[in-house]
């Protein structure tokens, strides 16, 4: 059952009646023609009248059972005497719109008009058409000579008295749409009025009042009398099935600055000044109604009702502000408005832009099981080829391999699992860093615990972690074993999480080596990789120095660490180890 509220527009239904019109011409102005009727009005010649007949088709019939004929065109006769005012007659059917005529002028130096131009010349060509655009072919004009041809030489005449100086006269023509001002292009564009004057100046005047104006486009004629009913015509053959047409789309009242279309999908209709119009071409409306963009469409029938109840109805076109499909109590069902379909209880919606929208508490069932609930996918099993997840939060699960990729999707490391032998594999460097805080407030590095550690090669790093510096100065140089900072000429920092075991001193400077930022009782090697002595400061008071000779090394054990405000760092006391 379909229930609709608001305005409903039905253009075609399967069981509705409809009207048809046919046209024919006849030499009689009082008796309708018997044959020759067709869907389009024929062209009428001299002493011919245009007739129209209308009828109503009631399905399943395909043609009317009776016709009403009326003469809608006639030959202009002499004006008769004015009769008495008659009674108001019934409203006649819509007449055929009148045709506007336009007067066009061209010039040419040749009698056949080829070539032609807008500049006055020996021959003038005129044409009257139903289009405001002048014909472009010279054959469309009737050519008349303005300036006479050179005649034969006559005999010598009697000398006359001396006359005034002769001058060339010029015909000037302009156009107007309203009889008060020029048309576009300074009056060169043809219009409803034509203005002319003759003088002895070749250039056209731009003064409107200088021209003598004549209206060449007639006013709309009066509606003709209603004709007598014609005889019923023969039933025509059934036509072939046409192609699917565009969907009639009512747009309500005409509005300015609005896009209207006439394409294979939609044909817009609007209401303007009480009439219904059909869009002729795609366009954006301006500030005023442009009748050239629209076709009168008053045969369009609006069916307006507050409630439409139908069962097993077939409707080709249904336009409504709202359509509810559900039970009559409207306690549960679907509401279609503005191109969207929404359930009035659950809030599930198919939006106008083709998206399926679920409320925060909504759910979707697949196979009679909940698949989406409260914004989450709930399912026992997902089978996908490629799953991209920014954050994975799970309790338990199984997988075979995890890969780590960089910003360019290049694999840099991986964790693999072998179900057959119960092993876990690491591909890439494994770095373990961080600080564990003891309950008493002290800190220590994280530890690696195992009861059985196997190593294929050397255990530990295969070379000492070093800090190197090459200088020619004799001042203090600070080596930071832990922590991080920015290197300068006199400060050298380790990488975060990488404690230093060895300091390598290079360069020809006899500088002082100071060790900073270290834990207690750490073993450190200082290597002199140069030709000049290097002096190691072993305490903050600078009272204990150890000189490391060129190409020699010295082993130290770190001791107390004290803050040195001069360099904003913790310097370390060193205990040299005898080797």
Whole-number percent of the chain with pLDDT over 70: 78
Confidence tier at 78 by pLDDT (50, 70, 90): very low
The confidence score (pLDDT) of residue 14 equals 45
Q: Span 303-319, mean pLDDT?
A: 56
Query: Does 190 share its domain with 125?
Result: yes
Q: Which range in 324-338, 408-422, 517-531 is most confidently predicted, on average pLDDT?
A: 517-531
Q: Which of 158, 191, 215 is the last residue of a domain?
A: 215
Assigned domain for 303 exists: no
505 has pLDDT over 90: yes
Contact 194, 182 (CB under 8 A): no
The confidence score (pLDDT) of residue 80 equals 45
Assigned domain for 551 exists: yes
Find all residues with CB under 8 Å of 569, minimum gap 6, and list them.
Answer: 478, 480, 516, 517, 563
The confidence score (pLDDT) of residue 289 equals 94
Assigned domain for 489 exists: yes
Q: What is the DSSP letter of 497?
A: T
Element (DSSP H or E) covering residue 49: strand 49-57
The confidence score (pLDDT) of residue 104 equals 85
CA–CA separation, 562 and 573 (whole Å)? 8
Confidence tier at 329 by pLDDT (50, 70, 90): low
Query: Does 196 share its domain with 289?
Result: no
133 has pLDDT over 60: yes
Q: What angle do CA 288, 294, 295 make, to 5 degrees?
A: 140
Q: Which has the minimum average pLDDT: 19-28, 302-311, 530-539?
A: 302-311
The confidence score (pLDDT) of residue 525 equals 95
Q: Which of 296, 331, 359 is the last residue of a domain?
A: 296
Query: Does 141 share its domain with 187?
Result: yes
Give how many domains the chain has, as a whole number. 3
Query: Does 500 share its domain with 550?
Result: yes
456 has pLDDT over 70: no
CA–CA separation, 399 and 417 (whole Å)? 8
Query: Does 204 share its domain with 251?
Result: no
Assigned domain for 497 exists: yes
- Phi and psi at 520, nearest 5°, equal -75, 150
Query: Does 211 share its domain with 255?
Result: no
Going across the sheet that includes 308-310, the strands are: 308-310, 2-10, 318-326, 333-337, 340-343, 349-350, 356-357
537 CB burial (10 A radius; 0-12, 13-18, 19+): buried
Assigned domain for 357 exists: no
The confidence score (pLDDT) of residue 66 equals 85
Instruction: Of 370, 322, 367, 323, give the one whose Cα is nearest residue 346.
Output: 370
Q: Span 67-79, mean pLDDT?
A: 64
Q: Which of 296, 324, 358 is the last residue of a domain?
A: 296
Q: Which has the minimum average pLDDT: 308-312, 483-487, 535-539, 566-570?
A: 308-312
The overall average pLDDT reported for the chain is 79
Query: Does 519 share its domain with 568?
Result: yes
The confidence score (pLDDT) of residue 235 equals 77
Q: Which has the minimum average pLDDT: 75-89, 150-164, 443-457, 525-539?
A: 75-89
CA–CA separation, 314 and 263 (whole Å)? 25
Query: Does 210 share its domain with 106?
Result: yes
With tokens 């599930």, the residue in question is 348
The confidence score (pLDDT) of residue 211 equals 93
Contact 266, 250 (CB under 8 A): no
Instruction: Of 365, 368, 369, 329, give the one whose Cα is nearest residue 348.
Output: 365
pLDDT: is 395 or 121 the higher one?
Answer: 121
Instruction: Of 275, 231, 232, 284, give the one whose Cα is nearest residue 257.
Output: 284
466 has pLDDT over 50: yes
Query: Does 136 share its domain with 201?
Result: yes
The confidence score (pLDDT) of residue 395 equals 59
Query: Does 206 share its domain with 262?
Result: no
Q: Span 200-206, mean pLDDT?
A: 90
Confidence tier at 6 by pLDDT (50, 70, 90): very low
Assigned domain for 17 exists: no
Domain that holds residue 285: 247-296
Query: Does 470 share its domain with 571?
Result: yes
Residue 22 burial (CB count, 10 A): 21
Assigned domain for 481 exists: yes
Assigned domain for 178 exists: yes
Query: Does 187 share its domain with 259?
Result: no
The confidence score (pLDDT) of residue 469 equals 92
The confidence score (pLDDT) of residue 1 equals 36
């Amino acid at each position: 059952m379909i229930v609709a509220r608001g305005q409903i527009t039905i253009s075609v239904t399967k069981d509705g009646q409809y009207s048809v019109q046919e046209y024919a011409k006849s030499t009689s102005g009082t008796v309708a023609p018997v044959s020759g009727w067709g869907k389009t009005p024929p062209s009428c010649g001299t002493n011919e009248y245009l007739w129209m007949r209308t009828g109503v088709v009631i399905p399943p019939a395909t043609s009317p059972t009776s016709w009403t004929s009326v003469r809608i065109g006639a030959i202009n006769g002499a004006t008769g005497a004015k009769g008495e005012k008659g009674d108001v007659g019934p409203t006649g059917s819509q007449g055929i719109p009148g045709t506007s005529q336009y007067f066009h002028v061209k010039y040419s130096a040749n009698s056949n008009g080829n070539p032609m131009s807008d500049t006055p010349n020996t021959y003038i060509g005129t044409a009257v058409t139903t289009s405001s655009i002048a014909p472009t072919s010279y054959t469309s004009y009737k050519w008349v000579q303005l300036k006479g041809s050179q005649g034969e030489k006559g005999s010598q005449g009697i000398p006359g008295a001396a006359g005034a100086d002769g001058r060339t006269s010029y015909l000037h023509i302009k156009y107007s749409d309203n009889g008060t001002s020029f048309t576009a292009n300074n009056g060169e564009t043809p219009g409803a009025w034509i203005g002319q004057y003759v003088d002895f100046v070749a250039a056209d005047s731009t003064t409107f009042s200088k021209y003598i104006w004549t209206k060449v486009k007639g006013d709309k004629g009066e509606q003709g009398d209603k004709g007598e009913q014609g005889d019923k015509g023969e039933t025509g053959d059934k036509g072939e099935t046409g192609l699917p047409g565009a969907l009639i789309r009512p747009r309500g009242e005409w509005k300015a600055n609005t896009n209207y279309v006439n394409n294979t999908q939609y044909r817009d209709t609007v209401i303007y000044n009480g009439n219904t119009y059909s869009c002729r071409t795609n366009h954006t409306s301006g500030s005023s109604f442009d009748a050239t963009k629209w076709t009168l469409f008053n045969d369009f029938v609006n069916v307006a009702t507050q409630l439409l109840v139908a069962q097993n109805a077939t409707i080709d076109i249904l336009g409504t502000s709202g359509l509810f499909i559900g039970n009559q109590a409207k306690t549960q069902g679907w509401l279609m408005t503005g191109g969207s379909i929404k359930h009035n209880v659950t809030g599930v919606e198919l939006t106008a832009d083709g998206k399926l929208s679920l409320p925060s508490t909504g759910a979707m069932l697949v196979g009679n099981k909940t698949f989406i609930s409260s914004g989450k996918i709930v399912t026992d099993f997902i089978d996908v080829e490629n799953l991209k997840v920014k954050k994975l939060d799970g309790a338990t699960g199984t997988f075979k391999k995890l890969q780590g990729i960089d910003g360019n999707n290049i694999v840099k490391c991986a964790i693999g699992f072998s179900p057959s032998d119960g092993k876990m594999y690491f591909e890439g460097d494994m770095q373990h860093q961080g600080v564990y805080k003891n309950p008493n407030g002290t800190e220590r590095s994280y530890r690696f615990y195992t009861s059985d550690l196997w190593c294929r090669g050397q255990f530990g790093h295969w070379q000492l972690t070093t800090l190197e510096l090459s200088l020619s100065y004799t001042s203090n140089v600070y080596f930071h074993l832990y922590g991080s900072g920015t290197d300068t000429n006199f400060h050298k920092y380790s990488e975060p999480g990488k404690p230093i075991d060895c300091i390598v001193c290079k360069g020809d400077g006899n500088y002082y080596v100071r060790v900073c930022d270290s834990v207690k009782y750490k073993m450190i090697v200082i290597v002199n990789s140069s030709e000049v002595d290097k002096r190691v400061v072993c305490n903050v008071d600078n009272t204990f120095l150890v000189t490391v000779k060129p190409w020699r090394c010295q082993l130290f054990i770190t001791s107390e660490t004290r803050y040195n405000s001069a360099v904003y760092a913790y310097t370390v006391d060193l205990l040299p180890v005898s080797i």
